[in-house]
């Protein structure tokens, strides 16, 4: 049975058709040669640019159009945030197959870029649960594509340079009311990697089921895997949306219980651990800050303001390089990467999240081997540069190591690749063919220019 709920951020299919027609008109009215960008209230990219007026208004594309509990699918507009999507699906006992960690990531953004979470070891990446995709192409046409179409395959990791997702049909999966978490400590990265591989193969640990896997590395000698599974009941429920801080619980609890919704957003309240930079993890400050401001999008706006004005850079005694990256490393090379990372970069904590592709056909602009279990390694901070180091040197060091280990790097933040190296990593031949066919007039930016040159 198809259900169209009547509540905020839920819309009708007929309204969507009208919004598409209006958007095509606005797109056609943009003068030839003028840059095209989206006017979005939030962003989870870390390629900061100066503010620009105007932009393509996509405010009418932030709705869940329908949820079909029988088919376990949803029709969703591209600018819908995962927060609103989850709010629409949980009442039906369903959730998207992969829910990225931050509330204001949009579904279209997670598909045009990349997303990941603790269900990715069994469900892959968010774009792998898309059944149908409606795209406004760079040529101004609206096309509907599916898994057998080249644009569908080439859309992930295109970052809005081929077109914009207007509507997506996605798969959903059942949930239970609660999630049980087991935080398992490891003294070495090698031991941790071995258990990741075993758990992801068996979907169990010590004879008990595992539905979700991620990890937290506090140092070379302190790392934890959080192995979680669905539960119908909970002897107690923790709450990490206020005074208590989730990532600290990983070190001090061995078993924990969260509601399904709180589990999905366990990282958002403190933006993983990055909220400590704003002082809000101090107990006294924590009590004074309203809960509604303990959110990743609030912190991100503060960072954007600071990047623009250089306030923290002026206070620092050293030149600091932002090192904000997510990389995928084959599980059998994870210990080697972490050893390099502790030695050369020194950011702690670090997030781990295993992922294996569901789809064996592949996604050409982010070519991962479907036979390989990868581990996403996420690190988000700054490092002090030595006097002889240029800005970008640590990021460039990471890029080289990731390539050496057969890994891949996401493009949501700063990149320093040379153009030839970039296209070798992200399949320039396929990209150029898609660009010619769907944006022949180059109305949208080139992927290298957008992600590396930051134009």
Q: How confident is the model at residue 33 (pLDDT cuts 50, 70, 90)?
A: confident
Asked whether the predicted pLDDT for residue 41 surpasses 70, the reply is: no
DSSP string, 399-428: HHHHHHTT-EE--SS-----HHHHHHHTTH
361 and 412 Cβ atoms separated by less than 8 Å: no
Q: What is the pLDDT of residues 386-416, one digit of tens each?
A: 889 999 999 999 999 999 999 999 999 999 9
Rounded average pLDDT over 75-86: 97
Q: Taking all residues of the chain, what is their mean pLDDT, rounded to a whole number?
A: 92
- Hey, CA dihedral for 38, 42, 47, 53, is it positive or negative? positive
ω before 351 within 30° of 0 (cis)? no
Asked whether the predicted pLDDT for residue 5 surpasses 50, the reply is: no
Q: How confident is the model at residue 8 (pLDDT cuts 50, 70, 90)?
A: very low
Residue 200 within any structural domain of the chain: no
Q: Tokens standing for 229?
A: 């599974």
What percentage of the chain exceeds 90 in pLDDT? 84
Residue 145 within any structural domain of the chain: yes
Q: What does each C-alpha distance from 244 to 125, 248, 265, 443 come to in angstroms?
A: 30, 8, 14, 47
Beta-carbon count within 10 A of 311 CB: 10
- State the Cα–Cα distance between residues 339 and 325, nearest whole angstrom: 17
Q: What is the pLDDT of residues 435-449, one digit of tens each?
A: 999 999 999 999 999
Residue 196 within any structural domain of the chain: no
- State the Cα–Cα distance between residues 438 and 172, nearest whole angstrom: 30
| Residue 438 phi, psi (nearest 5) | -115, -10
Query: Tell me, what CATH number does 109's domain have?
Result: 3.30.465.10
Instruction: Mean pLDDT check: name the lowest of 16-20, 27-31, 302-306, 426-430.
Output: 302-306
- State the Cα–Cα distance between residues 417 and 423, nearest whole angstrom: 9
Residue 102 within any structural domain of the chain: yes
Asked whether the predicted pLDDT for residue 79 surpasses 80, the reply is: yes
Residue 204 host element (H or E): strand 204-205
Cβ burial 52-68 (10 Å sphere, 16+ → b, else e): eeeeeebebbbbbbbbb
- State the Cα–Cα distance between residues 181 and 337, nearest whole angstrom: 27
Chain centroid, CA 419 distance in Å? 24
**pLDDT value of residue 315:** 60
Asked whether the predicted pLDDT for residue 371 surpasses 80, the reply is: yes
- For the chain, what is the domain count? 1
- CB half-sphere exposure, 18, CA atoms < 13 A: 7
**Higher pLDDT among residues 31 and 64, named by residue:** 64
Q: Which domain range does residue 46 map to?
A: 13-175+445-453
Residue 354 within any structural domain of the chain: no
Q: What does each C-alpha distance from 124 to 35, 129, 180, 201 come to in angstroms?
A: 34, 8, 22, 14
**pLDDT value of residue 54:** 53
Q: How confident is the model at residue 151 (pLDDT cuts 50, 70, 90)?
A: very high
Q: What does each C-alpha distance from 367 to 168, 409, 424, 430 come to in angstroms?
A: 22, 11, 11, 11
Residue 126 within any structural domain of the chain: yes
- pTM, 2 dp: 0.92
Residue 197 within any structural domain of the chain: no
Percent of residues in the chain assigned helix, strand, coil, to nearest 5: 35, 25, 40
Residue 207 within any structural domain of the chain: no
- State the Cα–Cα distance between residues 394 and 323, nearest whole angstrom: 7
Q: How confident is the model at residue 3 (pLDDT cuts 50, 70, 90)?
A: low
């Amino acid at each position: 049975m198809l259900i169209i709920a009547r509540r905020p951020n839920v819309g009708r299919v007929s309204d969507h058709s009208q919004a598409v027609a209006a958007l095509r008109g606005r797109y056609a009215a943009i003068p030839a040669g003028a840059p095209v960008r989206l006017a979005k209230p939030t962003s989870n990219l870390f390629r900061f640019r100066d503010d620009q007026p105007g932009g393509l208004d996509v405010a009418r594309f932030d709705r869940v159009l329908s949820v079909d509990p029988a088919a376990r699918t949803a029709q969703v507009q591209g600018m819908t945030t995962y927060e609103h999507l989850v709010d629409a699906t949980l009442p039906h006992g369903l959730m998207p197959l992969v829910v990225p960690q931050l509330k204001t990531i949009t579904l279209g953004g997670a598909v045009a870029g990349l997303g990941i979470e603790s269900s990715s070891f069994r469900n892959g990446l968010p774009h792998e649960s898309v059944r149908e995709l409606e795209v406004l192409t760079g040529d101004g046409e609206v096309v509907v594509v599916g898994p057998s179409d080249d644009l569908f395959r080439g859309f992930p990791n295109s970052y809005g340079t081929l077109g914009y997702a207007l509507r997506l049909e996605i798969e959903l999966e059942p949930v239970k009311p609660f999630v049980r978490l087991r935080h398992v400590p490891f003294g070495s990265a090698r031991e941790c990697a071995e258990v990741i591989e075993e758990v992801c193969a068996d979907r169990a640990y010590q004879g008990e089921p595992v539905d979700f896997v991620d990890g937290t590395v506090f140092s070379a000698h302190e790392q934890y895997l959080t192995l979680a599974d669905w539960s119908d009941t909970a002897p107690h429920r923790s709450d990490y949306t206020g005074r208590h801080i989730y990532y600290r619980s990983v070190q001090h609890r061995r078993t924990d219980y969260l509601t399904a919704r709180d589990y999905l957003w366990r990282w958002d309240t403190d933006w993983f651990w990055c909220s400590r930079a704003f002082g809000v993890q101090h107990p006294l400050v924590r009590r004074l800050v309203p809960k509604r401001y303990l959110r990743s999008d609030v912190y991100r706006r503060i960072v954007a303001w600071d990047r623009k004005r250089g306030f923290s850079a002026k206070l620092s005694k050293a030149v600091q390089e932002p090192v904000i990256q997510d990389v995928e490393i084959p599980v059998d090379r994870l210990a080697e990467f972490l050893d390099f990372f502790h030695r050369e970069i020194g950011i702690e904590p670090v997030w781990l999240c295993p992922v294996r592709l569901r789809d064996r056909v592949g996604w050409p602009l982010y070519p991962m081997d479907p036979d390989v279990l990868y581990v996403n390694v996420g690190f988000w901070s700054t490092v002090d540069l030595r006097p002889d180091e240029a800005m970008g040197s640590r990021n460039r060091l990471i890029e080289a190591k990731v390539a050496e280990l057969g890994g891949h790097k996401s493009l949501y933040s700063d990149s320093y690749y040379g153009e030839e190296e970039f296209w070798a990593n992200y399949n320039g031949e396929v990209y150029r063919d898609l660009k010619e066919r769907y944006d022949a007039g180059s109305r949208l930016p080139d992927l290298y220019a957008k992600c590396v040159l930051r134009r």
